[in-house]
Amino acid sequence: MISHLWQLCLIVLMLAGLVCTMIGLITCVQWFRTPKAPNDDSNRINNIMSWWIGLTRPDVMGKAYKAFRQDVMDNINDVEGSDETK
């Protein structure tokens, strides 16, 4: 009985680790893929910097972008409201 519980715990931990690893791999692929025109290769550094600033200093992102200052429901309502005016 206890051995089955340990096996289940290990499976859950392995799946959680796999999810985290996949998120990390997707992030690295997005950082290093070739940027679309009119961007040049130096935009990769900007991409990494903006990711790091967003991760470590969300207040900076809030000052820069209105969507980061609002509640998620306010963002959805803004989008739905803009669709109705068209």
Helix 2-32 / helix 43-56 crossing angle, nearest 10 deg: 140
Compute the distance between CA of residue 7 and CA of residue 13 in angstroms, rounded to an integer.
Answer: 10
pLDDT at 84: 59
pLDDT along the chain (86 residues), means of 10: 87 95 91 78 79 86 80 81 62
